[in-house]
């Protein structure tokens, strides 16, 4: 099992959710986060004063999947989230040692 964590632009969330659903993957966790990479933030104008915004709003998705579904999931996320501009995001894949469905007590792959 793997945990796929993706950081994407907020306006791409619906597109990514639809792409994930189309390949038959159910369940994801969404968290609003802030950060920056090569984008390095940007400047904004507020009441006539210019100020630097160092941390940009992003969305973090966490999806637990079986090993054989990882590549399809990465393709779906990349295809739906890509704009071709800097700041499109990153995808990280972690080994998932154990899962437990709290309601039933199921463990391992059956808990996904």
Q: Average pLDDT, whole number, for the chain? A: 90
pTM score, whole prediction: 0.85
Helix residue ranges, H only, 48-102: 70-81
Please give the DSSP secondary-structure letter assigned to residue 100. B
For each of the domains in the chain, give its residue range(s) and CATH number, in order of start: 2-111 (3.30.70.120)
pLDDT digits (tens, 9 = 90+) for 10-59: 999 999 999 999 999 989 999 999 887 776 666 666 677 766 667 788 99
Which sign, positive or negative, has the C-alpha torsion 100, 28, 72, 10?
Answer: negative
Show Cβ contacts of residue 33 under 8 Å, excluding neighbours closer than 6 positions: 7, 57, 58, 59, 60
């Amino acid at each position: 099992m793997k945990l796929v964590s993706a950081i994407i632009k907020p306006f791409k969330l619906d597109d990514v959710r639809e792409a994930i659903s189309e390949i038959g993957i159910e369940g994801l966790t969404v968290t609003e986060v802030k950060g920056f990479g090569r984008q390095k933030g940007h400047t904004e104008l507020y009441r006539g004063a210019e100020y630097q915004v160092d941390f940009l709003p992003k969305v973090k998705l966490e999806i637990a999947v079986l090993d054989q579904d990882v590549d399809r999931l990465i393709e779906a996320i990349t295809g739906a989230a890509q704009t071709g501009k800097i700041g499109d995001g990153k995808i990280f894949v972690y080994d998932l040692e154990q899962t437990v469905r709290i309601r039933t007590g199921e463990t391992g792959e059956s808990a996904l």
